[in-house]
Structure 1
Amino acid sequence: MLQSRRFKKAGSGFAIAAVFTFASLASAGAQTKWDMPTPYGDSNFHTQNIAEFAQDVSAGTDGSLTIQVHSAGSLFKHPEIKNSVRKGLAPIGEVLISRLSNEDPVFGVDSVPFMADSYDAAWDLYQASKPALQEKLGEQGLQLLYAVPWPPQGIYAKQDIDSIDDLRGLKMRAYNASTERLVQLAGAVPTQVEVPDLPTAFSTGRVEAMITSPSTGANSKAWDFLTHYYDTQAWLPKNMVIVNKRAFDRLSDAEKAAILEAAGAAETRGWEASKAETAAKTKVLIDNGIKVSAPSDVLQGSLREIGAAMVGEWQESAGDDGAAIVEAYQN
């Protein structure tokens, strides 16, 4: 009888231990870790913003969801990130939206020159295009979390550019179909040059002007081979953070709410960081002798005429989606 009681007592102990073990395993199983590939290095303001986003997600979920950021293409290279998220190889990632414009013109809306030529206009265009972006991503099992712009694009040259006539005949760097079309409409000669080759290309006369951001100008030390920068704010291309919809749907309601809240904060913070980046890198240009100025009314007027033509071309290629975005943006 005593032995039987001992077995019962021991059995109770095993049962209690089993309950605690199961609870521990269940708790461990509730912890989720996401790997997040990003294209840019740790010093880039987009990456720094994402690092804060990841911290906010961890804090908002009490550690039940953590995001490990893999910067500088260390997990997947930029061209691979979107498909890696779509296939579930990584549950979340960051991409330049316009990289996807070959899939659908809607993804290229923020890189149509002079469609939105200020941060306020870029925000309005983002709001007008967001429903279409979300729909296109949703068709691929992806969900948009937030988007942040790069600094606006301006014209760099080795001479005064007072009117569109001053661009005619110049060999001007083009790095995608949109910039090539812009250069052609401006009467310049499009020339393909990669960023690392800019100093040599300018010094040898292979290229005489370019359109890019203050960041690229400062990072490439444009003062070594250029003299002028015109702040045309031609367009503000954006990066977006996307998540695999199946991975998102597997989260608890509390985790979903936390990640959406962190995304909203990252979007607000990122737009302000972009403005700060623009101001800081423009100052670097000035401090190193680049003459920074606003475009003349004549030049800006001509550029906006070119922009209007390119908006029309983009809208035609984007069909009903393009028409809806333009209408929403203009209203």
Structure 2
Amino acid sequence: MSRTSRPVRRLLGIAATVFSMTAAGQALAQAPITYKVIGQPAATGLVQKNYERPFFEEFAQRTGLNINADYKPVDQLGIKDTEQLRVMKAGLFDIVSLRVSQNSRDEPTLLGLDLVGAAPDYATARKVYEAYLPVLDERLQKQFRIKLLGAWPFGPQILFCKKPVTSLADLKGLKVRTYDQNLAKFMESVGASPVPLSFTEVHQALSLGVVDCAITGPSSANSSGWPEVATHQYGLGVQMAMNAYGIGLNQWNKLSAEEQAKLQAAFTKLTDDIWTYSEELTADAMACNAGKDSCEMGKKYHLIDSPLQDADRQVLTEAVAKISVPTWAEICDKANKSCSADWKATAGKVIGIE
């Protein structure tokens, strides 16, 4: 071997080392990262099962990003659904399927998305959502370092009772499961005694007589077997049970502008699809709960479907200005000085309350 071959061999060795280091670096850069995700309770039913879970199980494909999702429903994590903001702020999870009303004690601004009586139908709820989301996004970024990516409703929250209930007047003296302060105040106004319970506690509470009635969406009630322990459903939608998707700002800020756009587009499609599906589910579940032949997606039960009273619709409409907004504003303005003013300039404006 000539003397000149040694430098050549040395250069070749260096080149091989550099190549292998470069290849390893590229492989490392291309390795997918994994987001830890808090999902909706599995007990809530078909939205979680048919839309949310598949989205996160196919996260990389749905978003077009080199990111996977470790998705766990909140009721399988040992975390209460009222603690989602706290664990997100602590950086324990990257994305949350946020239960709006349930977390409103930690951030009252959230409840502006779902005040009692403010959005009695899907069309109105959509207007409130689109007007108010930027306000809510700014607040959650500031207080909890969470960037909102969209929101959707489970649907009208109605009464399920184990006693005959044909109007709001029949609730006088009855114990009713509620899940936020605004709803509790409205129940008190019609003579009921509000009892705060988590969703997973309700079936047993109805069965044992801890409560006489409970409020949730028709589909969630169907999926969780509430009609097994109730006798009547009364379809006055007091709220829409809004839920929102949020990502921790630390993860959001690590994404490029192009990646952020892809992620946002994927969540916008998901939430739009759920809005449509939720409305279909509500109609079907109302029929299923009452054992009607039009039932297709849920389980048939035999609840008595009490006809909706026009007088109760009026009571609910009047409650927005008389009860919902004042009760909420008093609490929210203490935590967030511009809270009610921001709501009136956005959500309030689209429903005629300023």
> CA–CA distance in 2 between the matches of 1:256 and 1:199?
41
Cα shift readout 1:49-96 (whole Å, capped 9, x = no counterpart): 334433664136655222221234545623443333333332222221
CA contact (8 A) 2:95 2:246 kept: yes
Aligned AA (2:286): T
Cα shift readout 1:210-233 (whole Å, capped 9, x = no counterpart): 332213432443334432212112
Residue of structure 2 equivalent to 1:71: 73
Residue of structure 2 equivalent to 1:136: 139
CA contact (8 A) 1:316 1:322 kept: no
Cα shift readout 1:276-315 (whole Å, capped 9, x = no counterpart): 3323432331221112244111222223223432233124
CA contact (8 A) 1:110 1:237 kept: no
CA contact (8 A) 1:92 1:242 kept: yes
Aligned CA distance change for structure 1 residues 202 and 20 (closer, same or farther; 3 Å): closer
> CA–CA distance in 2 between the matches of 1:267 and 1:204?
37
CA contact (8 A) 2:118 2:320 kept: yes
Which aligned runs of 4 or more in structure 1 are off by greater than 6 angstroms? none
Instruction: Please say if 1:246 is aligned against 2:247.
Output: no
> CA–CA distance in 1 between the matches of 2:317 and 2:175?
21
Counterpart pick for 1:54 among 53, 56, 69 = 56
Matches for 1:121-160 after TM superposition, within 5 Å: 121-139=124-142, 140-158=144-162, 160=164
CA contact (8 A) 1:38 1:47 kept: no
CA contact (8 A) 2:150 2:267 kept: yes
Aligned CA distance change for structure 1 residues 260 and 190 (closer, same or farther; 3 Å): closer
Q: Greater shift after overlay, 224-233 or 23-32?
A: 23-32
Counterpart pick for 2:265 among 245, 261, 265 = 261
Matches for 1:316-331 after TM superposition, within 5 Å: 316-317=330-331, 318-330=339-351
Residue of structure 1 equivalent to 2:336: none
Q: Which runs of 5+ in 1 are unaligned?
A: none
Q: Greater shift after overlay, 320-329 or 265-274?
A: 320-329
Report the 3-state secondary structure (helix = DSSP H, G, I; strand = E; otherwise coil) of the residue aligned with 1:308: helix
Residue of structure 2 equivalent to 1:82: 85
Aligned CA distance change for structure 1 residues 50 and 308 (closer, same or farther; 3 Å): same
Q: CA RMSD in A?
A: 2.9
Residue of structure 1 equivalent to 2:24: 24
Matches for 1:1-331 after TM superposition, within 5 Å: 2-31=2-31, 32-41=33-42, 44-46=46-48, 48-54=50-56, 57-59=59-61, 64-75=66-77, 77=79, 78-139=81-142, 140-158=144-162, 160-192=164-196, 198=202, 201-202=205-206, 206-287=210-291, 288-313=301-326, 314-317=328-331, 318-330=339-351
Aligned AA (1:86): K
Q: Greater shift after overlay, 246-255 or 155-164?
A: 155-164
- How far 1:155 moved relative to its partner? 1.9
Cα shift readout 1:159-203 (whole Å, capped 9, x = no counterpart): 554444333233333343223211110122334556566566556
- How far 1:326 moved relative to its partner? 4.0
> CA–CA distance in 1 between the matches of 2:5 and 2:94?
53
CA contact (8 A) 1:114 1:308 kept: no
Report the 3-state secondary structure (helix = DSSP H, G, I; strand = E; otherwise coil) of the residue aligned with 1:144: strand
- How far 1:117 moved relative to its partner? 0.6
Question: Please, what TM-score do these two structures have when normalized by structure 1?
Answer: 0.86
Cα shift readout 1:109-145 (whole Å, capped 9, x = no counterpart): 2332111011111111111211211111120322101
> CA–CA distance in 1 between the matches of 2:201 and 2:37?
30
Q: Greater shift after overlay, 161-170 or 117-126?
A: 161-170
